[in-house]
């Protein structure tokens, strides 16, 4: 393989975190290719992040243009929309383009039950799971598998309430019942370079969810009269910093999760690149983790020009998108690109 970044391009689907991925790649000197739909093209042109745009009717048409990407020696940066549009099995079994990250990890993050095993082995403080609705003895959140956009949730405090509310979701038999942890949501954005083995914390965010983040604006009595329910559709992200004394704990948890990822079946290189632990900080400062994303998350989007943390370490604008482009650049120049591809 070539040791010059001029012989490669960075590409991704034009959605999710593509703006920072493409901008970061350009800042590191790469040629960038945005895979757009007719509707999204306008956005990526406006922000000037793509040297080339390949247009497809819908993102499901991705495989029609993959050979073109391969010809251009493009390296695909997978993000949540890429995995979601193609499905983790097709990504693993059919995608042939150079791919940054461990493909095998996608199975572990896409199924909440095995994801939980991984986190527990890493000593992460996960919320209690109730295996039978009859066990519900405290506020619990019921999440449906594969439910998109945050609609597939409800809260129940007892078996009775569970059986009453599940009626609103006919035919949905795949769910988990999880302890509902009261505390503030916190999303931790990690980065691990396989070239150095060093774990970094890039930034933090909280999501901006409709309507969860606005029903509190309605006085309690008006809410009750209007019979308003909480929904969790992600609409955006808000920047946040954490209490500095919690950083040692966040580093430790991240390192434990990475260490255990190397034991997972089908993930020979373990977890690397950007990933995110998604949890709740309770009033005793415990970090209760309910999910891991084993790739770049949209919560890094407030930091296209660097975060309060990345500015400390880098002293130049360093988004998570740019950080991974730099990893690829250093891998190429060191003749170690293979170590970064999954």
136 to 155, contacts with its own copies by CB under 8 A?
Answer: 139, 149-151, 155
- Is residue 56 near its own copies by the rule CB under 8 A? no
DSSP H/E element including 165:
helix 159-165
Nearest alpha carbon to residue 21 among 342, 311, 301, 340: 301
- Is residue 239 near its own copies by the rule CB under 8 A? yes
Q: How many CB atoms lie within 10 A of CB 339?
A: 14
Of the pair 92, 206, the CB lying nearest its own copies is at 206
Of the pair 113, 243, the CB lying nearest its own copies is at 243
Residue 226 tokens, joined: 């209007």
Q: Which of 7, 47, 68, 146 binds its own copies (CB under 8 A)?
A: 47
Nearest alpha carbon to residue 198 among 246, 254, 147: 254
| 184/231 Cα distance (integer angstroms) | 16
Q: Which of 64, 160, 241, 268 binds its own copies (CB under 8 A)?
A: 241
- Is residue 163 near its own copies by the rule CB under 8 A? no
SS3 for 314?
helix
Q: Which of 3, 228, 268, 333 binds its own copies (CB under 8 A)?
A: 228
Q: Which of 5, 9, 10, 18 binds its own copies (CB under 8 A)?
A: 18
Site for its own copies in 282-321 (CB under 8 A): 282-285, 298, 301-306, 308-309, 311-313, 317
Q: Is 341 left (phi over 0), alpha (psi -120 to 50) or beta?
A: beta
Please report how close the Cβ of residue 15 comes to its own copies at its closest, in angstroms.
Answer: 5
Q: Is 84 left (phi over 0), alpha (psi -120 to 50) or beta?
A: alpha
- Is residue 270 near its own copies by the rule CB under 8 A? no
Please report how close the Cβ of residue 260 comes to its own copies at its closest, in angstroms.
Answer: 19
Q: Which of 120, 134, 137, 238 binds its own copies (CB under 8 A)?
A: 238
**Strand 52-55 vs strand 31-36: parallel, antiparallel, or unpaired?**
parallel
- Is residue 221 near its own copies by the rule CB under 8 A? yes
Site for its own copies in 73-92 (CB under 8 A): 81
Q: By rule CB under 8 A, what count of residues binds its own copies?
A: 94
Let me know: does 274 contact 296? Beta carbons within 8 Å.
Answer: yes
Q: Which of 185, 259, 336, 339 binds its own copies (CB under 8 A)?
A: 185
DSSP H/E element including 46:
helix 41-46
Let me know: does 88 contact 23? Beta carbons within 8 Å.
Answer: no
Burial class from Cβ neighbours inside 10 Å (0-12, 13-18, 19+) for residue 331 reads buried
Please report how close the Cβ of residue 268 comes to its own copies at its closest, in angstroms.
Answer: 27
Please report how close the Cβ of residue 180 comes to its own copies at its closest, in angstroms.
Answer: 8
Let me know: does 63 contact 91? Beta carbons within 8 Å.
Answer: no
Please report how close the Cβ of residue 324 comes to its own copies at its closest, in angstroms.
Answer: 17
Of the pair 170, 283, the CB lying nearest its own copies is at 283
């Amino acid at each position: 393989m070539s040791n010059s970044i001029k012989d490669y391009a960075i590409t991704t689907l034009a959605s999710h975190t593509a703006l920072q991925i493409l901008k970061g790649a350009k800042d590191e000197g790469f040629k960038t290719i945005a895979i757009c739909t007719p509707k999204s093209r306008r956005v990526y042109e406006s922000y000037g992040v793509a040297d080339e745009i390949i247009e497809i009717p819908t993102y499901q048409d991705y495989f029609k243009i993959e050979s073109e990407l391969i010809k251009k020696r493009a390296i695909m940066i997978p993000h949540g929309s890429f995995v979601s549009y193609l499905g983790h099995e097709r990504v693993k079994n059919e995608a042939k383009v150079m791919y940054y990250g461990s493909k095998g990890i996608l199975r572990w993050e896409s199924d909440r039950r095995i994801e939980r095993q991984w986190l527990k082995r890493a000593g992460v403080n996960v919320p209690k799971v109730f295996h039978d609705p009859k066990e519900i003895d405290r506020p619990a959140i019921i999440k449906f598998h594969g439910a998109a956009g945050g609609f597939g949730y409800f809260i129940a405090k007892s078996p009775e309430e569970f059986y009453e509310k599940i009626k609103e979701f006919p035919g949905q038999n795949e769910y988990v019942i999880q302890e509902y942890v009261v505390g503030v949501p916190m999303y931790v954005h990690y980065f691990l370079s396989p070239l150095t083995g060093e774990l970094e914390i890039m930034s933090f965010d909280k999501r901006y969810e409709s309507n969860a983040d606005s029903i509190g604006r309605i006085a309690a009595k008006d809410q009750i009269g209007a019979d308003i329910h909480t929904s969790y559709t992600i609409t955006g992200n808000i920047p946040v910093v954490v209490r500095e004394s919690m950083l040692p704990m966040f580093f430790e948890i991240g390192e434990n999760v990475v260490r255990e990822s190397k034991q997972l079946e089908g993930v020979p290189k373990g977890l690397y690149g950007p990933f995110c632990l998604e949890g709740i900080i309770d009033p005793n400062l415990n970090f209760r983790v309910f999910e891991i994303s084993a790739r770049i998350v949209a919560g890094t989007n407030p930091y296209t020009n660097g975060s309060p943390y990345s500015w400390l370490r880098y002293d130049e604008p360093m988004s998570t998108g740019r950080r991974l482009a730099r990893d690829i650049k250093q891998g190429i120049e060191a003749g170690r690109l293979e170590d970064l591809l999954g």
